[in-house]
Amino acid sequence: MEADELLFAERTFDAGRLFGRAAPLEIEIGTGKARFLVAAARANPAHDFLGLERSLSYYRICRQRVARAGLANARVLRADGRLFLESLPPASVRAFHVYFPDPWPKKKQRKRRFLDAVALELLASRLEPGGTLRIATDHPSYGRAIRSHLESVETLERFSWEAQPPPPPTNYEVKYAAQGRPIWRFLCVKRETGNGKRP
């Protein structure tokens, strides 16, 4: 196993050191085959894009595709999403992207889902004021749970998916759209005020 294939274990993440510059940071949690990551980085050269992938096999695919793309503003790390969030400074991320996370559909598995109330609060705390959180899932019960959890996060305000230009599709989105499968989509923006309420 190569050194970069070990799970990220640093206590504090330094985006400037990884990218060699200071720029708005966007993070995709669960990068899959890197379709979104590469397309988004190519379309937005002024932003830095970091993909997180825990699966070693998918990480290797991502690493290869990001390297082949040759984009200075795209990187991938092998990391556990929730643990990585704790390494981020507060209010340091311009956008988070969480597309088609594992739904763990069986009732006894649901505690393993990434997006619960705790994770959503943590995501919100790491967003800059005005930063965005985008989520998509094809799993109805997960979609309903996410919707319910989001209602409890006072610092996030929900908008329609079309309120901002849509992101490049992931492999799963292309596949599920072709199948006609309904997709639950969420767009949230971090409120500008510190107390989580409208000014």
pLDDT in tens, 138-175: 999 999 999 999 999 999 999 999 999 999 999 889 99
> What per-residue confidence (pLDDT) applies to 192?
87
* Per-residue tokens: 8: 């990220």
As to burial, measured by CB atoms within 10 angstroms (0-12 exposed, 13-18 middle, 19+ buried), residue 99 is: buried
pLDDT in tens, 101-127: 988 677 777 787 899 999 999 999 999
The tokens 């992931």 sit on which residue?
170
Identify which of 62, 48, 40, 45 has the alpha carbon closest to the alpha carbon of residue 20: 48
Is 116 designated active site?
A: no
Q: Which of 4, 80, 102, 138 is catalytic?
A: 102
Contact at 8 Å (CB) between 94 and 23? no
> What per-residue confidence (pLDDT) applies to 1?
81
Does residue 15 register a pLDDT over 80? yes
> What per-residue confidence (pLDDT) applies to 70?
96
The tokens 């989580």 sit on which residue?
196
Can you tell me whether residue 151 is helix, strand or coil?
Answer: coil
Does residue 195 register a pLDDT over 60? no
Domain ranges of the chain: 20-190
> What per-residue confidence (pLDDT) applies to 196?
44
- C-alpha of 148 from chain center: 19
The CATH number of the domain covering residues in 20-190: 3.40.50.150
pTM of this prediction?
Answer: 0.93
pLDDT in tens, 31-52: 999 999 999 999 999 999 999 9
Does residue 187 register a pLDDT over 70? yes
> What per-residue confidence (pLDDT) applies to 197?
46
